[in-house]
Amino acid sequence: MKRKQYVRIKKASGSRYWYTDKIGEVFEVAREDNADYAVYNGSIDGCLVAKEDAELIVTEKRPANRNDRILITNADTVHGLYKNGDELVVDGQYKFGNGVFAYKEYDVHRLDCHYVTYKEYEVIMENVDKRYDTAVETTRDAIEELRLAAYAKGYEDARRELMAQAPVEKTAQERRDEIVEQAKAGIENLKRRSPNGKLCYIRGNLLCNVEFVINKKKRTIVALLKSISFGDICGKGIAKAAPDDCFNEHIGKAIALHRALGLEVPDEYLNAPQPTEVRVGDVVAYRGVYKTIDYATVVADGEPTGDGRAALTSIAVKRAKIIDDSRTEMDELLT
> Tell me, what's the pLDDT at 35?
92
Query: Binning pLDDT at 50, 70 and 90, where does residue 92 land?
Result: confident
**pTM reported for the whole predicted model:** 0.53
Alpha-carbon distance 7 to 121, whole Å? 15
Q: Say if residue 89's pLDDT is above 80.
A: yes
> Tell me, what's the pLDDT at 335?
43
In this predicted structure, which of 141-145, 229-233, 244-248, 301-305 has the lowest mean pLDDT?
141-145
Alpha-carbon distance 51 to 38, whole Å? 10
Alpha-carbon distance 8 to 59, whole Å? 13
| Cα separations in angstroms, 57 against 4, 25, 128, 206, 270 | 8, 12, 11, 36, 34
For 13, half-sphere exposure in the C-beta direction (CA atoms, 13 angstrom radius) is 8
Beta bridge partner(s), residue 240: 220
- Indicate if the alpha-carbon torsion angle 106, 54, 118, 44 is positive or negative: positive
Cβ atoms of 100 and 121 within 8 Å: the answer is yes
How many other C-beta atoms lie within 10 A of the C-beta of residue 242? 8
Q: Say if residue 159's pLDDT is above 80.
A: no
Share of the chain above pLDDT 70, in %: 85
Task: Name the DSSP letter for residue 309.
Answer: E
Specify the DSSP element, H or E, that contains 267. Answer: helix 267-270
Beta bridge partner(s), residue 115: 101
- Please state the rounded mean pLDDT for residues 254-266: 94
Cβ atoms of 286 and 296 within 8 Å: the answer is yes
Ramachandran assignment for 248, one of left (phi > 0), alpha (psi -120 to 50 degrees), beta (any other): beta
| Cα separations in angstroms, 202 against 196, 247, 264 | 14, 27, 15
> Tell me, what's the pLDDT at 129?
56
> Tell me, what's the pLDDT at 64?
92
Residue type, 26: V
How is the beta sheet containing 233-240 ordered, strand by strand?
Answer: 192-193, 199-203, 206-215, 220-227, 233-240
Alpha-carbon distance 124 to 56, whole Å? 11
Quick: pLDDT tens for 165-174.
Answer: 656 788 999 9
Task: Name the DSSP letter for residue 34.
Answer: S
Cβ atoms of 213 and 249 within 8 Å: the answer is no
Residue type, 159: R
Residue type, 95: K
Q: Which of 40-44, 60-64, 93-97, 330-334 has the highest mean pLDDT?
A: 60-64
Alpha-carbon distance 44 to 90, whole Å? 32
Is residue 156 helix, strand or coil? helix
> Tell me, what's the pLDDT at 333?
44
Q: Say if residue 202's pLDDT is above 80.
A: yes
Q: Say if residue 275's pLDDT is above 70.
A: yes
